[in-house]
Each structure stands twice: as structure tokens, then as C-alpha cells.
Amino acid sequence: MKSSAPQTTDNSKISTNNSQQKNGSVSSTQQNLQSPARKVQNIIAIKPRVKRKVVELFCSEVRWFFRRKEDTKWMPFRGYDSTVLEVAFRRQKGLEFDEETTKFLYSLPESVIVMEGNYVADEQLQNINAIYWKEDTFQIRRGTWFYMETCQPLPDDFADTIETHHLKSFKGNVIPETPVFSESESSKKPELTTVKWGDEKVCWNSVVDVHIASKSNAVILVIHGIGQKGYENLIAKNTAQIRDAVIHQMDKYYPNEKRRPAILPIEWRSTLQLDNGMTDVVTLPKMVWARSTLNSVCMDLMYYHSPLYRSEIVNGVIKCLNNVYTSFLENNPDFSGPVSVIGHSLGSVIAYDILTNWSPFLLYDQFVTNAIAENLEQNFPVEQKQLLEQFYHSRKKMLDLGDLMEQILVRQDEPLKFKVKYLFCLGSPLAVFTIMRGADYRSIVPDKDKIERIFNIFHPYDPVSYRLEPMFHENYKHIRPIKLFNYRDAIKPYDNNFYDCHKKRPKSFDGDDEDETQYFEDDSDSDVGCQSSSPRSITPHNIDNNTNATLTPATPTIQELKFCDTDSYAKINKDQTEIDEQALEVGIEPGVDDEEKFKELVSDVESNQQKTVASHDILKTMGEAGRLVEEIPPERRINQRLDFQVQPWTLEKSYWSMLRSHFSYWTNPDVAAFLLNTIYPQPENSENP
């Protein structure tokens, strides 16, 4: 498993145990944790603190770690076990021991037995193996330098390179007790020395300020929606949550990707003046808490609908985007990668309007021009009618010019300093906003020169979210959105998903005038037949409290059979039978024993099934869904899918879940996996490690 430095707004920082003096004082981290009471006593003589210097690490200051091969997190050994491993390491390498270790060196055993005497280290000190039972092994790692954000040890070769250069450059230097530079001085830090290790570059700005130079090859800017007034740090917390999920999945599923995306928050609400608090002044004094909460949450939506305050919001967001991007470039001058934007709730609408350069003033101007045209036929005095006609023709010419009127009416204090490649809309009401503006299918998706692609990601119970695809043609409402793959299928491509109908089709679709309500309310969000869905909400069978039962694929029901032809249903049944037969041949009971092996068999059969589907040219259109798409006029068909649905858990069907779902995207691992799948697309023949 490759260990990588998480990317932050500044460059990734690393810390070390190399912060002691020659008499063996505690490290800087330990020093910071000491009780402050020692610093405030003034009636007892305090022994002057000896200044710490950079010297070689003591054995007691090196910490060893262990983990299983399939795990991503290193766990520390107990102090005694760590010392035993470090002594064995130094004996093997012929390194000197510090004075403290020499005092009890004779009492340490020659054999390296750790963890309550149950494991023994191999000769290379790379693994520990169980002594009294078989096939139980842990990887081990020597920890001298660590990633500051996670406290995880750097790879051995990397840490040794840094330690050697650190001692060469700073040995004997006094270690300062406080940070040398403040956060506000991040762009003014001098670069004292650097060292390269493979593709990584480590920089020293001072003895204690060491960081790995950022090698981000993509930037994702996260724009919040409503409800941030008084909670300015909330978007930073949400961004950190999605960043942690992305980094964790990259470590596990993208081991060959050396760089990481920089995911940065855009907090725009606190920079605005708007009505200068007038809404708080006119708020009724009864039920103050409830009214204040409503003002904080809902007023942003009303501000954005106001032509007066909307311009301030748009310009404020653009300014924040430019400031964060400029700061990132100052810390990463070599960056030349793509920039994407995540917009949550109202933030997605603001981002869309900025990228498409939309303004209500253009709409209002067209309305005024049409109103003048409608009144030209009325009986006005000759002079007034001539003036009105001249005014109308002048306005019409201005509108025909397009770009000129856009420059006049779309007021932006500054242009966006970068081009956006992808726009990810999370829990977005964008469809409703565009409908209220009179938009149609021709204007929903902007030109490629403005933005390459839009992804409308929503939870099926999110009350704020709406679909975009049915705006092109009503037939799309009968076709499922693409369901996000389970994060364990992180690198599986989305492009090979054919259209699929909703599980329950309204009878009115066949000509009957029956109500369609049940069709939409009762449509399962995790139907087995859906090609892009992992069966997350299907009730598993044979689940024992002490057994990790797997979820097995199921054959379509009679209702589902209406959406694919007889050959397709027969083929699905055949594939399910093939899975079960192959499982039994190798001694696996499907859904119960050996989950990983059974998943491999399922994957193999599904792979063959996809090839068969492709050969019959039904990969994109299948059964009833294909007929629906064929009925859509060519000019109204979507070239790329827009709607992507998060898979809900089984217990999420409640009103509380409906309210909570709007804020569930930040911690959803499937969403993080989808972001990576889009930004770092993998070859179709790639397999999860």
C-alpha cells in the first residue's frame, strides 16, 4: 500500500520525532502537551529550560507500527515492543545506541518477539508472524517522520532520505519552541533547503517547518448553499469530510496515482453585506430562535431571487473563487491541471449561473421589449408612437447583438480567472430554477467552451433535488437516472450503462388514464435489475448474527419482465444459474460462504454478460427503455447522461431521512468514488486491486 500525503490548502506538512536535546528531553509534541501550570508558578524556582537541538534520534523516540496487508491504517506498537524492534534494527544496521538505551541493552532479548510473546519478526524486519498458529502476518514499519494530518509514518526509504538530509542541514541547530511562521505568512516563507525522493519534493522553511511540495494535478472548489450564516466554518468541515473520503479511496483503489486532488472550500456568505441586517430588525420578537434560524437558512434563497442582492452574491462568489485559486497558485506555481466545482444546493445554481453568464436582467430586458411590441398597435398620438417605434427597433437591435447587451446587463466586478471542466451539483434545485426562467432543452447544457460536463447528483429522498434529463423530453422521466456504484467498485466505468426503465411503469403510458403517483412513490431505489446499481437495499438471505452474509444477485420479477424482452430475461436467468453452478463447483454456497470468491465469480459472469449485450447492440438501449428513447426526436436526445442517483440504505425510508438526506453527500463514500471516477478515469480493463 502506498502512503501519500494528504493535500491541504497549504502544502502537506510532515512532523518528526527528531526534536530532542542530547540529554534526552522530550520531543516537541510531548513538550506542547505538558501542563501549563509549570509556566505560571512564580514562587518556586524553576530550572531554566535547556534549549533543544537537532541530533540523532534516541531508540525511545522511534516508534514502530504494524498493520495487516489489506488495511490502510498503521497502528503503533506498545513502547516495549517498539524499543525491542528498534534495538534489533540498529544491531542489524550496525548503528550506535544512545546512552539511555545502552543502560538496559543487556536486558533485551536477542530474538524479536512482540505483542505479548505471540509474534516474532522476520530477519528483514518487514513482517511479524504468529508463533503458535499459522497464516497470521502483520506488516511492520519504522516511524521517524510522519504525515502531520494523519500521524501515519512515511515509507521507510522516504523517511530515511528526509532524516539524512535533515541532519546534514540542521544538526546542532536550536529547535524553536514556537512556530517560526504564522499562517498569514505562508506565502512569504523562505525555502532553506530541499530534497527529492522519486516524484516527491520535500521543502524546509525552518528547522521545524517541513512539508512535501504539493503535486496536485486537479483542483476541486466546493461552494456551499444556504444556511451558512453564523456557521462560516461549516463548509470547511464538510470539505474536509469529502477530502478525507477521497484520499482514503485513492490510497486503496488508485495506488498508481501519485498525485492527489486539492479540494478547497469556498466560504462566500460572510463576505457579503446584503441588507445590513434589516431583516433581523423587522423580525417579530416572539419565537426568536425559530425565526432567527429561518432567517439564517431561508433568507439566502430570497436574496438570490432579488435582482438587487443577486449581483452582490454572484460577485462575492466569483471573488472568493478567484482568491482561493490565486492562493493555491502561489503555493503551487507549477500547477496546470483542470479545475472542477462542487456546488451544494443553492451553491450549484450560483455556480451554474456564473459559468453560463446568466442574469435576470437579460430576461427582464426581453420582457420589456416584447411588452413594447404588443402595445405598438394601440392608438397613441403620432409623435409618441414614432418615439415608441424608434425605441422598440433600437432595443431589438441591441438584443440581436447579444454580446453587447450581455456585457451591459451582466454585471461582474471581475471575471473568473480559470476555466471549469466539470460541475458537480449535489442536492441541486437547478432544474426548478431554470424552469422558472423559461429555459428549454436548448439552453440547459452550456457550450463546451464554458463547461465540459454537468453531473446532477442527488439522493432519492432529498426534498431539494430535481432531475434535469426530463427537461429535454418527458420520456426521460420514465428512464432511471444512473445509480452511483458502490465505492468498492470505484474504478468501474459509467459509460457502458444502457438505458433502463423504472421498475413500475404507469398504465397511462400504454394509453390508460390511471394515476401515476404510485409509479413514482413505490419505485424501488435499489432494484436488482438496474445495471448500474449494487444491491445495497436488497434484503439479504441467510443472515446469521455471527456470519458475514453477502447480498446475492436476484432474478427480475414478473413486473420487471415488462421492461426487457424475453431473450434478455432468459439470458439473465441463465447467467444467474451459471453463477450458482460455478459457485457450487468450487464448494461455495452462494450468498453465505467465502464472500470474496463468490464476488469474483459474479464479476466474471457479469463481464461475459456485458460482452454478450454489446454484441447484440443493446448496451445503450434495451427493451422498453430503448423504445422510449427512440420516440424522442433526435434534437432532444441527451448526448451524455446528466442525472446520477445516490443509493439509499434500507432504513432510510422515513421523513427524518428525507430531511437528513440533503446533507448526506459530504460523508457518502459512493459520491467520493464517483468524483474520483470522473476526474481520474481508468481503462475499461482495469480491476480493483
Provide the percentage of residues in the chain whose pLDDT is more than 70.
70
- Most confident listed range (20-24, 201-205, 379-383, 407-411): 201-205
CA distance 552 to 605: 13
Residue 573 burial (CB count, 10 A): 12
**CA quadruple 668, 669, 670, 675: dihedral positive or negative?**
positive
Query: Which amino acid is located at 474 in the chain?
Result: E
Task: Estimate the crossing angle of helix 346-356 against helix 288-305, to 10 degrees.
Answer: 20
Q: What pLDDT is recorded for position 66?
A: 96
Q: Are 142 and 161 in contact (CB under 8 A)?
A: no
pLDDT digits (tens, 9 = 90+) for 476-508: 888 889 999 988 887 888 876 667 777 655 544
CA distance 205 to 211: 8
Confidence label for 556 from pLDDT (cuts 50, 70 and 90):
very low
Q: Indicate whether 266 pLDDT > 50.
A: yes
Residues 6+ apart with CB under 8 A from 596: none
Q: What is the mean pLDDT of residues 357-386?
A: 78
Give DSSP secondary structure letters for 395-448: HHHHHHH-HHHHHHHS--SS--SS-EEEEEEES--HHHHHHHTT--HHHHSPPT
Q: What is the mean pLDDT of residues 14-40?
A: 40
Confidence label for 514 from pLDDT (cuts 50, 70 and 90):
very low
Q: Indicate whether 183 pLDDT > 60.
A: no
Q: Which of 357, 388, 356, 384 is nearest to 374 (CA)?
A: 388
How far from chain centre, in Å, is Cα 612?
34
Helix (H) or strand (E) holding 196: strand 193-197
Give DSSP secondary structure letters for 226-246: S--TT-TTHHHHHHHHHHHHH
Strands (E), 466-617: 482-483
CA distance 566 to 622: 11
CA distance 461 to 645: 10
pLDDT digits (tens, 9 = 90+) for 152-166: 899 999 999 999 999
Q: Locate cell 451582466: which residue?
A: 410
CA distance 477 to 488: 29
* pTM, rounded to two decimals: 0.63
Confidence label for 685 from pLDDT (cuts 50, 70 and 90):
low
Higher pLDDT, 79 or 52: 79
Phi-psi region of 57 (alpha: psi -120 to 50; beta: other; left: phi over 0): beta
Query: Which amino acid is located at 33 in the chain?
Result: L
Q: Give the single-character DSSP code of 134.
A: S
Higher pLDDT, 159 or 409: 159
Q: Which of 168, 174, 169, 203 is nearest to 186 (CA)?
A: 203
How far from chain centre, in Å, is Cα 420?
17
State phi, psi for 645 to the nearest 5 degrees.
Answer: -110, 135
Q: What is the mean pLDDT of residues 300-312?
A: 85
